[in-house]
Structure 1
Amino acid sequence: MTKNTFGFDNKVSRRSMLKLTGAALVAPMIWVKNSEAAQQQVIIRSPGGAYDEIRKKLIFEPFREKTGIRVVPVAMTSAKMEAMIRSGNVEVDIIDNDDSVILQWENELAPLAYDKFKFTDPADILPQYKHDSYVGNFVYASVMGYNTGKYNKNTVPSNWADFWDYKKIPGTRALADMDTGGPDIEFALIADGVPIDKLYPLDLPRAFKSLSRIKPGISKFWTSGALSVQMLSTGDADVSSVWSTRILKGIENGAPLAINWNQHAVHLQAYAVFKKAKNPENAQKLVDFCLSKDVQSKFSSLWNSGPVTKTAYEALTPELREKIPGGERTQQHGFLLDAGWWAKNRTEVGKEWAKWALNS
């Protein structure tokens, strides 16, 4: 995916943890009292926590008032989702997850009924986020975050090559661990000279060689979005890769942090409907509702994320646009992660990471 694919006029916890191992392999059972009740609800896999609290007020309750359909959010790991699918008893209608995780179950997904949308104009959805069997929910980014007690915008590493040069630009560094679902392979390649529009398919041997160069300068590979912000806030790391939604929340809470947006990586949180969904029509209606202009723009302001529709982005204030990925900023300084590559290669990356971590 090249950086000129972001077609605006102007443009989590890691939303959902992608950890694929160490989780219980028993899918939860979601019971309904009778078939009539089942027809008037929709069950969505959701990250939970503060995310669900926002969406309950902004989306779930208004959706029920407009349609009579109750939304039931269920927190579920990828491992539990996999177990549920293998059992053949799909108790969830919609997945709300990272697009590269969703694509692991591509054959289990139903086509999205864009032609039946009533709340959203399908033509308003930006093309890089619109697919036959899944569609964007919101975007966020992996960025270079730093502690303002150590650096300012003129002294922080200006790009990933500078970040890698820890001898020239002193300061403790941190990067993402495999436990986050995807270590900073793209940033390792960019630091090694690969142009951001030539990243895919990722050259893993080259990436791990690059990671070996930076490893002596890394204080820790962080395993969660909360840990990355904590390290930056306390000075355990002066500069680190970090998820934009996480660091922006830290800044709102008064942490001495700032962002360098150069060479940022855009992540897509997305929706998909299962072929075996028990409430397929209700699921399609909820996806439609979630992509409406008001929902998209209001959620962006509450979650510090980017919308996936053109009109919602255009409705944002200039102040909010400065805080989120998208638009001219991403056209000029960022790129969209290739979900298809990660869906096919995450297991291989995990194996290579384990070997590299043990031997390097």
Structure 2
Amino acid sequence: MKDRKSKSAGASAVELPGNVQRRAFLKTGVGLAAAGTLSLSAPAVLAQRGNGRVVVRGLGGAYQDAMTAAIYKPFTAATGIEVVVQPATAAQIRAMVQAKRVSLDVVDLTDIAQVALDKVGALAPIDYAGMKYTNPDDIQAVVRKPNMVGNLIFSTVMVYNTDVFKGGNHPKTWSEFWDAKRFPGKRTLADQQSGSAELEFALLADGVPMDKLYPLDVPRALRVLAKIKPEIVMWWNTGAASAQLMERRDAVLGGLWNGRAQDLIDKGAPLAIEWNQAKRQTQALSIIKDSPNAANAQKFIDFALQPKVQAEVVRHIAYGPTNRQALKLLKPEELAKLPSSKEHFAQSFQQDPEWWSENLSSVGQQWQSWVLQRS
């Protein structure tokens, strides 16, 4: 997904909230594989050796390009600490800890995968009290945990074709999304292979309040999804697939990652985002237990969460800061695209990573059986 490079918002080359991240999470049970190495020139490496290094689990692609520009290079310039990016699955990380042969320091993963790692004792506490770059009280409380902290927020949002739904006459709730008579047209929603089926949206469509969704009633959600099943042209399993369906008008309504949708909008596609009842999800940072460069890892996370750095990240990726002070550094047109803007945050709900971590396997089994059933 090319989430956003330079001034362009979006999500085309990095599957941050999905295929690269979540599909592999399903395969391993707790995580995903990703690739990428940050190469530094020999003189730069030699100059930095005096202050050591920090090894960060990377995702590759445009996401890593953005992290390099907004975090890795500025961090090295400010501290002299070399940043090395290393691929690893969450399963590999757990194995490192169990074997006491840890080669990574900082984990960059979705909070669902981080929770799974934390439950098996693979993560170390974050030293919030020792932070010098960041005031931890400025980090949204919902993503600030003892052993992990959210570094950006993305959302699954309702996206509609503005040529089909004109003048504000589009679905504004998931209940209206389910109303195919009032709002006719083919739709698309995520397949479980994308990371999590849209059980929350089904329950919202059935009248469950946003603050009463969890624990999810899976059988009820599947019954509600069955009502919209005939209108679903495809259950997408990658961000690229969801974007193609909307771009080609195979579907005129869909639940997409906001970065994917924003990328199409910025390129001129006749699409728009309805932010009401969006599902917020979190990318998080953590430190591996017994990491070889734990002090540098603490400093890296501290640096990455400060307002000016988080604001710079936004200019490369269309996902939102977790530091409230970073929002003050952004222009109105930048805020309008972010899940963590004050307006959008208030209209949305936070996906419960604890629930999904506990139930991912069970939901996957039920989903595979359900999705193969005829409507």
Instruction: Name the TM-score, length of structure 2 as normaliser.
Output: 0.85
Aligned to 1:296: 310
Task: Using the TM superposition, give the Cα deviation of residue 327 of structure 1 relative to its aligned residue in structure 2, in angstroms.
Answer: 4.1
Q: Does 1:46 align with 2:47?
A: no
- Give, in whole Å, the separation in 2 of the partners of 1:164 and 1:196: 17
In structure 2, list runs of 5 or more residues that go unmatched. 1-10, 38-44
CA gap 1:227/1:82 in 2 versus in 1, 3 angstroms:
farther
In structure 1, list runs of 5 or more residues that go unmatched. 1-11
CA gap 1:113/1:188 in 2 versus in 1, 3 angstroms:
same
User: Counterpart of 1:116 in 2: which secondary structure?
Assistant: coil
Structure 1 counterpart of 2:238, one-letter code: S
Q: Does 1:18 align with 2:22?
A: yes
Structure 2 counterpart of 1:108, one-letter code: A
CA gap 1:153/1:227 in 2 versus in 1, 3 angstroms:
farther
- Give, in whole Å, the separation in 2 of the partners of 1:324 and 1:153: 23
CA gap 1:332/1:39 in 2 versus in 1, 3 angstroms:
closer
- Give, in whole Å, the separation in 2 of the partners of 1:178 and 1:299: 29
Pairing of 1:328-347 with structure 2 (within 5 A): 328-347=342-361
User: Counterpart of 1:194 in 2: which secondary structure?
Assistant: coil
Aligned to 1:5: none
Aligned to 2:208: 194
CA gap 1:185/1:295 in 2 versus in 1, 3 angstroms:
same
Asked if structure 1 preserves the Cα contact closer than 8 Å seen for 2:338 and 2:344, the reply is no
Task: Using the TM superposition, give the Cα deviation of residue 48 of structure 1 relative to its aligned residue in structure 2, in angstroms.
Answer: 1.3
Task: Using the TM superposition, give the Cα deviation of residue 25 of structure 1 relative to its aligned residue in structure 2, in angstroms.
Answer: 9.8
Task: Using the TM superposition, give the Cα deviation of residue 156 of structure 1 relative to its aligned residue in structure 2, in angstroms.
Answer: 1.8
Q: Percent identity?
A: 37
Task: Using the TM superposition, give the Cα deviation of residue 70 of structure 1 relative to its aligned residue in structure 2, in angstroms.
Answer: 1.2
Pairing of 1:177-192 with structure 2 (within 5 A): 177-192=191-206
Instruction: Name the TM-score, length of structure 1 as normaliser.
Output: 0.89
Asked if structure 1 preserves the Cα contact closer than 8 Å seen for 2:94 and 2:122, the reply is no
Aligned to 1:269: 283
Task: Using the TM superposition, give the Cα deviation of residue 57 of structure 1 relative to its aligned residue in structure 2, in angstroms.
Answer: 1.7
Pairing of 1:36-75 with structure 2 (within 5 A): 40-75=52-87
Task: Using the TM superposition, give the Cα deviation of residue 212 of structure 1 relative to its aligned residue in structure 2, in angstroms.
Answer: 1.0
- Give, in whole Å, the separation in 2 of the partners of 1:287 and 1:141: 22
- Give, in whole Å, the separation in 1 of the partners of 2:296 and 2:268: 41
Instruction: Map Cα deviations across residues 247-285 of structure 1 (whole Å, 9 max, x no partner).
Output: 112222222221111111111111011112121111111
Q: Does 1:127 align with 2:154?
A: no
- Give, in whole Å, the separation in 2 of the partners of 1:82 and 1:219: 38
- Give, in whole Å, the separation in 2 of the partners of 1:326 and 1:229: 22
RMSD: 2.5
